[in-house]
Structure 1
Amino acid sequence: MSSLDPNKSLPPLPPLKSFSLTHILYDPTHPLSIPLTLLSLSPIFLFVSYFTLLIFTRRLTILLLATGQVGNEVLSWLLKRLLKGDRPYMGHGEVGTGYGMPSSHSQAAGFLVAWGIGYVLTLASRGTSRDGGKLGMVRKIRNGIYVVGLILWSLAVCYSRWHLHYHTPFQIVVGYSAGLITGGVFFWLTEYIPIYHPQSPLGQIRKRIEYLWEGVGGVGGWELGDAKGGWGEGWLLLGKEVKEKKTK
């Protein structure tokens, strides 16, 4: 061993464990393994998208969607420890670690599908899809492509969990179904009722949350995206807008 060996004076390592959030085993000989591995990771990439959209659009709807996805992950974590279903191929490398019932990736995909379909169906009530003629037709086609693409993506994510040997078909179906139910209920509570029944308790709660959210202003105290003002300035600007409307 050379005197320049960097391992010569290092202390022994403690037992280490893989951070399994992005750790996936795959068959390098199968041509679809890499694409399906990336698809399997795509629900995790969603949170990066949510964070980016929150910075540059400052939309409360995105904040609530991200919150719902986090809550859906917590629900999946609880269901895994309640049902305690084993993964297939237990003990086969690191595929066999942790519980497998339900599939959390499939549940995340199902959540977004239910939420996304609800969003498309309520676009007209948001004032973003009332145009007729050619423009209305283009938007209907675009929304249809969006929904079909979202469904196909979610099914591909589910298939990837089976192809990569992380879940059984039943675990995937249970996870996807749980995500659909959770996403649908969450959308109904946070979007549908506040839109169509703004004077309801849920509608009033959303208004208060929106006021607080807008008052925070831009990220880091700077005006970013659609935010007006920085930390604390947002409330002052909102108050100024209210006074200007009253004087008109």
Structure 2
Amino acid sequence: MTEDYVYNSSEWKALSMSFVEYPKGDIFGKLMALLALAPLYIVAALSALALRCRDLHTIFYFVGITLNELLNMFLKYAIQEPRPVARDNYYVQYGMPSSHSQFMLFFTVYTILFLYKRLHTNSLIERAFRAIGVVVCIVLTALVCYGRVYLLYHTVSQVIVGGLIGAFAGLFYFFFIHSILTPYVFPKIVSWRISELLLIRDTSLIPNILFFEYTATRQESRARLRKNMKMQ
């Protein structure tokens, strides 16, 4: 889509239950619009994971994403650079920096660092899953960022600036969590009475939480089975 494209609202169609528009009849544009919803899917998944696991790292990961979004809103209203195309149904008309690119780069940089600094297991399967995770994050981020320009929601410069801010924010926040909160703050938080009541835990020192939960559950199930057999 060229930059001299004339916006005509009658030629654009919004995705159901969203503000994202794409040109009518444009299959690739519809794909870009669907991918633009990726941040919503990620936030929903992290929210569910935080409620399910109640792990401090997951909770603070969600806090970091929220702070990154607040930073983007502040910069948008401070810079007040308009989008390439004005849309009456969009909640913020300012486009610098791109919130989608900032979100996706924050998410991707943080996730990659987490996979290689936190999950330091060396089995072949786990290394393969890490590599697949990295590729998926990078490809998804690239498509979302490209889609913001393709659908005329942002200029190239708005996407680049948003991506750079998100990448640096993700890098800074990961090392803040890894170097300060994990060794000095998390142990204190889990010792609070409120953390015990809410079942909040810290699994930072466990390299593979899925395997740990699997073995712990299996051992407990076997112990309870033996106890029940003795009682019969």
TM-score (norm 2): 0.72
C-alpha contact 2:56 2:186 (8 A) present in aligned 1: no
User: Structure 2 matches for 1:208-247, cutoff 5 A?
Assistant: 208-212=188-192, 214-217=195-198
Q: Counterpart of 2:29? A: 33
Which structure's residues are more often helix, by fraction? 2
CA deviation after TM superposition for structure 1 residue 156, in Å: 0.9
Q: Counterpart of 1:148? A: 135
Say whether residues 1:101 and 2:96 are aligned partners.
Answer: yes
**How many equivalent residue pairs?**
184
Compare relative contact order (CA 8 Å, sep 6+) and give the higher one, 1 or 2.
2
Q: Partners in 1 of 2:199 and 2:18 — Cα distance?
A: 31
Are residues 89 and 28 of structure 1, via their aligned partners in 2, closer, same or farther at CA, if it must alter by over 3 Å?
Answer: same
Q: Counterpart of 2:109? A: 114
Among candidates 63, 68, 81, match of residue 67 of structure 1: 63
Alignment gaps of 5+ in structure 2: 1-16, 201-209, 211-232
Q: Could you tell me the percent identity over the aligned residues?
A: 26
Q: Which runs of 4+ in 1 moved over 6 A?
A: none
| Matched letter for residue 76 of structure 2 | K
Are residues 154 and 147 of structure 1, via their aligned partners in 2, closer, same or farther at CA, if it must alter by over 3 Å?
Answer: same
Alignment gaps of 5+ in structure 1: 1-20, 199-203, 220-225, 227-248
Q: Counterpart of 2:125? A: 138
Q: Partners in 1 of 2:195 and 2:137 — Cα distance?
A: 30
C-alpha contact 1:103 1:174 (8 A) present in aligned 2: yes
1:84-128, Cα deviation, whole Å (9 max, x unpaired): 1111023x5546951000000110001001101110121355xxx
| Matched letter for residue 109 of structure 1 | M
C-alpha contact 1:101 1:175 (8 A) present in aligned 2: yes
C-alpha contact 1:110 1:183 (8 A) present in aligned 2: yes
Q: Counterpart of 1:88? A: 84
Are residues 210 and 147 of structure 1, via their aligned partners in 2, closer, same or farther at CA, if it must alter by over 3 Å?
Answer: farther
Are residues 96 and 59 of structure 1, via their aligned partners in 2, closer, same or farther at CA, if it must alter by over 3 Å?
Answer: closer
TM-score (norm 1): 0.68
2:21 alignment partner, SS class: coil
Q: Which entry has the higher C-alpha Rg, 1 or 2? A: 1
